Amino acid sequence: MLDLKFIRENPEEVKKTLKNRGMEADIDKLLKLDRERRNLLQKAEDLKHKKNIASAQIGKLVGQGEDPKDKIAEMKLVAQKIKEIDKEVGEIDEKLAKIALLVPNIPHNSVPVGSGPEDNVEVRRWGEPSKFDFEPLPHEELADALGMIDFRAASKISGRGFALYRGLGARLERALINFMLDLHTSKHGYTEVFPPFMVKRECMIGAGQLPKLEDDMYRCEADDLFLIPTAEVPITNIHREEILRAKNLPVYYCSYTACFRREAGSYGKETKGLVRVHQFNKIELVKFVKPETSYEELESLLRDAEEVLQLLGLHYRVLNLCTADISFAASKCYDLEVWVPAEGRYLEISSCSNFVDFQARRAGIRYRPEKGGQAEYVHTLNGSAMAVGRTVVALLETYQQKDGSIAIPEVLRPYMGGLQRIEAQRG
For the annotated catalytic residues, the residue numbers are 261, 276, 348, 351, 390
Q: Which of 374, 403, 417, 426 binds RNA (CB under 7 A)?
A: 374
**What backbone torsions phi and psi does residue 265 show, to the nearest 5 degrees?**
85, 0
Interface with RNA, residue 41, by CB under 7 A: yes
**What backbone torsions phi and psi does residue 76 show, to the nearest 5 degrees?**
-60, -45
Write the interaction track for RNA spanning residues 222-261; mark x where CB under 7 A is met and - where it is not.
---------------------x------------------
Q: To the nearest whole angstrom, how small is the minimum distance from the Cβ of residue 78 to RNA?
A: 7
Interface with RNA, residue 58, by CB under 7 A: yes
- Site size for RNA (CB under 7 A): 32
Interface with RNA, residue 48, by CB under 7 A: yes
CA gap 236, 423 in Å, rounded: 41
User: Looking at beta carbons, which pairs linking 79-86 to residues 24 or more positions away fall under 8 Å?
Assistant: 79/51, 81/47, 82/44, 82/47, 82/48, 82/51, 85/40, 85/43, 85/44, 85/47, 86/44
CA gap 188, 182 in Å, rounded: 9
Please report, as residue ranges, which positions from 83 to 122 form the binding site for RNA (by CB under 7 A).
83, 90
Write the interaction track for RNA spanning residues 321-340; mark x where CB under 7 A is met and - where it is not.
--------------------
Rg of the chain over Cα atoms, rounded to whole angstroms, equals 27
- Closer to RNA at the Cβ: 348 or 376? 376
Q: Which of 23, 31, 249, 375 binds RNA (CB under 7 A)?
A: 375
Sheet holding 198-200, edge to edge: 198-200, 225-227, 219-220
- Closer to RNA at the Cβ: 258 or 424? 258
Interface with RNA, residue 76, by CB under 7 A: yes
- Closer to RNA at the Cβ: 216 or 376? 376
CA gap 397, 143 in Å, rounded: 10
Which residues contact RNA by CB under 7 A?
Answer: 5, 38, 41-42, 44-46, 48-49, 51-56, 58-59, 62-63, 72, 75-76, 79, 83, 90, 243, 368, 371-375
